[in-house]
A and B are shown apart, each in its own frame.
Chain A
Amino acid sequence: MNPLAGTGHLIRLILRRDRLVMPLWIIWLSVMPANFAAAFPALYPTAAERSAFAQTSNANAALVALYGPVHTADLGGLVAWRISIVTVIVALISLLTVVRHTRTEEEAGRRELLGAAPIGRYAGPAAALVVVFAANLLLAAAVAAGLAGQGLPVAGSAALGAQFAAAGWLFAAVGAVAAQLATTAAAARGIAAVGLGAAVAGRVVGDLSAHTGGPLGWLSAVSPLGWVMRLRPYADDAWWVLGPLAAATAALVAVAAGLHGRRDLGAGLLAAGTGPATGGPRLAGPVALAWRLHRGPLAGWTAGFALTGALLGAVAGGVGDMLTDNPTLRDLFARLGGAAGLVDLFLAAMLGLFAVGAAGYAIAAVGRLRVEETSGRVEPVLAAPVSRSRWAASHLLFALVGPVVLMAGAGSTMGVAYGLSGGDVGPTTARVLVGAFATLPAVWLLAAVALALVGLVPRLAMAGWAVLAAAVGLDLFGALLQLPQPLRDLSPFTHLPSLPGGQVSAVPLVVLALLAAGSAAAGMIGLRRRDLPVG
């Protein structure tokens, strides 16, 4: 039988299932760059102002870490620089979508139902990849058209669209490979996300190191995201980069196909072995069960946080030396506290990023409640003498303590790695750790809001992620888009102190913690009152 038979049918099935989500993210991500193109001229009307802004940004390590360096100070260059974070978002959405339509289907047993129909062996992954590839091309076209419509150079606009799509294609293929390796969708998402995280970390550390004259600049060239950024829209329009990217994508697709062709339905490369015939003495009670379910992801996240923290701490020392010859900049940075102040600002900004990651972990941990509910696994637990509150609290525990562990991991390695370069490991680490823990109230609030959603409007439980995305969006782009301050204040991250180095005021932290407690209580009450399970 034709190994791709029925791919068309599966494509239509995917389009039917994603008819809402897919257009939403394509529209959202294509409107954003056009908004930026409109916002920059309002903030920096003259070429001189834009040039000064570009110089300041390139001297600011935190901005270089977040967005990479500004390659050209014209309007297009600034938009491409500031919007580069969308590249990561596109990559993430693409890999999640591919896993959702491959391994998730297989794990749920729906693929088996289709497999009995005249559907070719490769039709499943092929359909998922075709849809995601096409969605990325559509996004690229929309981005290019939107920016060209704002009067930006056509070639650069097309290159920026291509930058997004290239990242989407590459990580869709990464998702396809991950879906072959793991037997569960969660593990497949984890593998692919670790790949993306490593690429991001490589790009960030590489760019920072290159900018401070450090020895790790090659990391950007090794990171797939670094290649994608090498396109440098509006500056170089280096189209040749697409060649190796296409080759890498093709190679990954070939690997996925090779793995898929060799394995049984439902099986993975990382096979499930056997385990103990009896539960160990500690496997008693809901908390023990929650520990079994959360420990794997928590260990993975902690390792990722610690490693990234160490890399960032290692380059932090060079941040203070970044500026040299420009007197205006030197004056500006002197007022910010000189080299030490700059490093503090950098560390605080990086801790803010870690806090976003920790909030993501916490929302996923709360989401576990919903996973247990919809899968039917909650029933045997609640049919035992376990109250709903105890069951919910066993998972909430990880959503609250997990971020503490993660921030401790990132803060301590970042502090130690930075401290080693300055020779005062102890005090430096303590200062960074305080900053790391100061972000926790905001993280907890987002986890508590996710719990309130699970308890009160279970069908919208996934909206916890939308809340996080909105908070991050307000934080990153609120100033640029000149959104009103009360709106920007909705993001809990806005109210965090800039630590180490900044002023601390207890009031916002206490208010965040109280709001978190209130949301969590609302969620718990909702859980106790509603039907469970709700489909």
Chain B
Amino acid sequence: METTIQVQGLTKRYGRSTALDGLDLSVAAGEVHGFLGPNGAGKTSTIRVLLGLLRPDGGQVSLLGGDPWRDGVALHRRLAYVPGDVSLWPNLTGGEVIDLLGRLRGGLDRRRRADLLERFALDPTKKCRSYSKGNRQKVALIAALAADVELLLLDEPTSGLDPLMEAVFRDRVADAARQGRTVLLSSHILAEVEALCDRVTIVRDGRTVESGTLAELRHLTRTTIVADLPAAADVGAEPGAEPAGPAGPSPAIADLADLAGVHGLSVDGTRLRCEVEPAALPEVLRRLAEAGVRGLVSQPPTLEELFLRHYHGTGARR
């Protein structure tokens, strides 16, 4: 598949502090790519490098087949950008800003502009100084979504939008994706990422820590299993677990805790609880069945757990 954004080993320093420390990012043409990471992880710096606003200190950056630092102007004809904190000219109206930004890019689709204004319920006659944060965000979103471009760079674009407008935003990004546009979406809103993104890249401290499809990332995490057994079990549980009951353990699950890929096993009377890696799932389920399991609750890994696991430990390098 053709890649729209290819970043390898990107580094960027501001004086003595390192913002990007060997970051990798690959976005294929036509995909909606989630770009995630805790505050200060380097997401905005990366997007500014992709826009040719910041000059990288090291690494390779290719955007739409060009070098954003050198060929910025030509590349910018083919992309639109929404910053996370939109600042507008106080004495221009929202409508004027949308048209101005559109014309800088060589004109925008009038029909789409009118349609977006209505969907986002924005009054374009107000001066930008009187817009709230959410409304300023809408101005930038409308200008970007009305542009006829291949690539949308969206840096936390929905900050300040109400849930209704958030839904409109998702709908419009999905529409853009249907038209074959590529989207890089930096976001903290997991539901948004889950609803829109084909693939995600998670960064922390200026480095990529995980990248792949959501299914792949889920695959890396554990399923939580809670099982009701016919008799209290002695499963070689870790210290602190209840002692075995009088009925004696079922041999099938006696050494469950020793099985590779099973974590945090605990027993509370007849209730067994553990976290299981995907590879160990068939064996665990087989043994539970053999032990005559009476009830089973299996929880898939939530994205939230996934992110929290990656977001944690940001202090390690500081």
Contacts and interface: CB of A to CB of B under 8 A. Distances in A.
Given A276-B96, A380-B83, A292 B73 contact: no
B141 to A, nearest CB: 12
B91 A292 contact: yes
Interface in A275-321: 275-280, 283-286, 288-289, 292-293, 296
Given A275-B125, A379-B83, A385-B73, A531 B53 contact: yes
Given A277-B95, A284-B103, A384 B76 contact: yes
Given A277-B95, A380-B83, A387 B100 contact: no
Nearest to A271: B130
A184 B88 CA distance: 13
Contacts of B73: 385-387
B192 interface: no
B93 A275 contact: yes
The range of chain A's interface size is 35 or more
Contacts of B81: 379-380, 383
B99 A283 contact: yes
A194 B277 CA distance: 73
B134 interface: no
A264 to B, nearest CB: 12
Q: Give chain B's interface secondary structure class.
A: mixed
Nearest to B54: A531
B185 to A, nearest CB: 16
A404 B215 CA distance: 65
Interface string A261-282: 0000000000011111111100
Contacts of A385: 73-77, 104-106
A421 interface: no
Q: How large is the interface on B (under 10, 10 to 19, 20 to 34, 35 or more residues)?
A: 35 or more
A381 interface: yes
Contacts of B106: 385
A279 B125 contact: no
A277 B125 contact: yes
Given A384-B101, A385-B105, A385-B106, A277 B77 contact: no
B287 interface: no
A32 to B, nearest CB: 37
A377 interface: yes
A129 B100 CA distance: 41
Contacts of B79: 383
A376 interface: yes
Contacts of B209: none
Contacts of B298: none
Contacts of B83: 376, 379-380
A529 B69 CA distance: 9
The 4 closest A-B pairs by CB, nearest first: A279-B99, A384-B104, A383-B81, A284-B103
14 contacts: A183-B90, A272-B129, A275-B96, A275-B125, A278-B96, A278-B124, A284-B103, A292-B91, A293-B91, A379-B51, A385-B74, A385-B105, A387-B73, A532-B54
Interface of B: 48, 51-55, 72-77, 79-81, 83, 85-93, 95-101, 103-106, 124-127, 129-130, 140, 143, 153
Given A385-B106, A386-B73, 15 more contacts: A272-B129, A275-B126, A276-B95, A277-B124, A279-B95, A279-B103, A284-B100, A289-B89, A292-B92, A293-B91, A376-B87, A379-B51, A381-B104, A385-B75, A529-B55
